Amino acid sequence: MKKLINSPEDVVRDALRGMEAAHGDRLRISYDPYMVVRKDAPVQGKVGIISGGGSGHEPMHGGFVGPGMLDAACPGEVFTSPTPDQMLEATKAVNGGAGVLHVVKNYTGDVMNFDMAADMGKGEDIEVETVLTNDDVAVEDSLYTAGRRGVGVTVLVEKICGAAADDGKSLAEVAELGRKVNANGRSMGMALTPCITPGSGEPSFELAEDEVEIGIGIHGEPGRFRESIGPASQIAERLMTPIVEDLPFSSGDKVLAFVNGMGGTPLLELYVVYAEVAKIAQERGLQIERNLVGNFITSLEMQGCSITLVKLDDDMTRYWDAPVNTPALRWGA
Amino acid sequence: MKKLINSPEDVVRDALRGMEAAHGDRLRISYDPYMVVRKDAPVQGKVGIISGGGSGHEPMHGGFVGPGMLDAACPGEVFTSPTPDQMLEATKAVNGGAGVLHVVKNYTGDVMNFDMAADMGKGEDIEVETVLTNDDVAVEDSLYTAGRRGVGVTVLVEKICGAAADDGKSLAEVAELGRKVNANGRSMGMALTPCITPGSGEPSFELAEDEVEIGIGIHGEPGRFRESIGPASQIAERLMTPIVEDLPFSSGDKVLAFVNGMGGTPLLELYVVYAEVAKIAQERGLQIERNLVGNFITSLEMQGCSITLVKLDDDMTRYWDAPVNTPALRWGA
């Protein structure tokens, strides 16, 4: 295992030290428990929004903390859920009196711990609502999940809810919007290579020299099938067909198309995939109104990509366009 | 070789199709010759700025085209210089009457072709100035270079010159500023793994299971030495010491610190490296005034990183902070 780390035990702490050194003017980093918090939190009168999950998916979630998106993120160890205590601390840190939204990806540990944290928050008289993301159409139930996994749509929920909170929406309204984004969103991923967690030192799975896995999870959870690698056009079709047919997306729908890199795939290749996604969308009459191409929800150095489509309405589009100022997503600010 | 491409011959064209599909509202893509051009080019009265080089280093340069940075980029095939004709076309496309700056990384093919393009531009009565970047302290002369290689500082030259051009500076002033950024900047990189170009299908070099190469070039050109991988603190020291001692940077200097990923390294690890860079800078009395962490000048899926330091003055800092609106770097717009 070759990695740019000091030791497997310290990788999350050391990365947070880097976040603090790079973004300490805008973010407050806590080491006990681990938290990335907007420096000006809590913002009085604004709904606070937190998320969290295992590390190894950067920039998600710490890279999405800042005006227009998350108020705080709770990183766990690599591919390990953060704890309820951590989530409670974050909830308290961002509560500006208008309640706190938890954005939770559907993995068993995250769901259980966020549930406990929500109860603990309510016990301290903080209103808490939860948006659970479960957009991955690849499989029902998985290695760490009952039901569908939460993947790419999480990024979009965090952005759109962040803007709605900035716009003065109530906790119930922000939560409802987040659930709508999730309900309107579908994703699927694939891998060319596994990743190696620092703790294990071993690849999360094995793929043959010419093989890809279609429907992979962001922790290397099994997908739908393996096959010999084909052209990008075929891979895009393998992901787009289940996505489009699941919602289903229909001709005339306005969508946001998000091509996400798993961490180890060159941007050059992500744009090749995006070209195929745009072509398939056009053939099916989908109008791509907004797009995002890059590494936003990753799996360490895994090579591969995922595709997310979200059916947009005017509110979502307006909130997507609203200013955001975080380390990983920034515009208009 | 497993890649998200349709065919090795079409990878650059297909990635440009993706750029056009994703950013066609802001960028004009030309396929014959390959160019990425600001949609509103030429901007009358503003110095035009172009750059170019082999593909495989994305987002550089196409991802840096837009208000506040480049007016056009000329992508060559992977790791292959673009042609003089291509550069001439781009020069003409962005000439708004105030002349055109060529930002050229110091590789033999790029230098030769940009020289020819500059002559051809002058033959068409376009004023052309060139800024040559050669910030890589690793080695003098290299596989594709006489003198030092141009690497990370190129990104910063393009941003800062872009802002100066927006500010109404003359061609001579923008060029002088670009040369100053390069003169004030030093970089060095390292690799954990090689990359595979689509055309060759073979790794650009071989490294043992536990080995890293210190001083690597962005095309896999040999560096200074190989050694067993140590902790991130040691790797940061291996890169920072030659950088700091070369300019030399001195206690009290204000600097921009840029930790760049080679393409296949997780962001988590880049922040671990940034923490070490910040620590070393502090020990040496360098004040990091601005920073950049991420994948900006890459080498396909190579794992590794490079560090760039630039000694800042007030103009450079102000121009760094100025609004920029490109696919890969965006703020204040």
Q: What is the ipTM, given to two decimal places? A: 0.98
Distance from CA of B324 to the nearest CA of A (A): 9
Domain B12-184 coded CATH 3.40.50.300: no
CA-CA-CA-CA dihedral for B3, B5, B7, B11, to nearest 10: -110
Q: Count CB atoms within 10 A of the CB of residue B251.
A: 9
Active site annotation includes B102: no
pLDDT, position A204 = 86
Q: What is the mean pLDDT of chain A?
A: 97
Mutate to test the interface with B, among A256, A267, A331 (most CBs of B within 10 A): A267
Write out chain B residues lying below 8 Å of A237, CB-based.
none
Instruction: Tell me which residues of chain A, numbers 62 to 91, contact chain B at a CB-CB cutoff of 8 Å.
Output: 63, 78
The model's confidence at residue A333, banded by pLDDT at 50, 70 and 90, is confident
pLDDT of A155-196, one tens digit each? Answer: 999 999 999 999 999 999 999 999 999 999 999 999 999 999
pLDDT of A74-116, one tens digit each? Answer: 999 999 999 999 999 999 999 999 999 999 999 999 999 999 9
**Which of A233, A278, A301 has its CB closest to that of B266?**
A301
Q: What is the CA radius of gyration of chain B?
A: 19
pLDDT, position B285 = 98
Write out chain A residues lying below 8 Å of B21, CB-based.
274-275, 277-279, 288, 291
Write out chain A residues lying below 8 Å of B278, CB-based.
18, 21-22
Q: CB-based contact (8 Å) between A193 and chain B?
A: yes
Pinpoint the residues of chain A covered by CATH 3.30.1180.20: 185-311
> Quick one: tokens of A114?
């966020």
> Closest by alpha carbon to B190, among B210, B218, B209, B154?
B218
Q: CB-based contact (8 Å) between A333 and chain B?
A: yes
Pinpoint the residues of chain A covered by CATH 3.40.50.10440: 12-184
pLDDT of B244-296, one tens digit each? Answer: 999 999 999 999 999 999 999 999 999 999 999 999 999 999 999 999 999 99
**Which of B20, B58, B331 has its CB closest to that of A267?**
B58
Write out chain B residues lying below 8 Å of A231, CB-based.
5-7
Contact A272 B303 (CB under 8 A): no
Q: What SS3 class is residue B33?
A: coil
Active site annotation includes B23: no
Instruction: Tell me which residues of chain A, numbers 217 to 246, contact chain B at a CB-CB cutoff of 8 Å.
Output: 229, 231-233, 235
Q: CB-based contact (8 Å) between B15 and chain A?
A: yes
Domain B185-311 coded CATH 3.60.20.10: no
- The 10 Å CB-count burial string (b at 16+, else e) for A188-211 is bbbbbbbbbbbeeeeebbebeeee
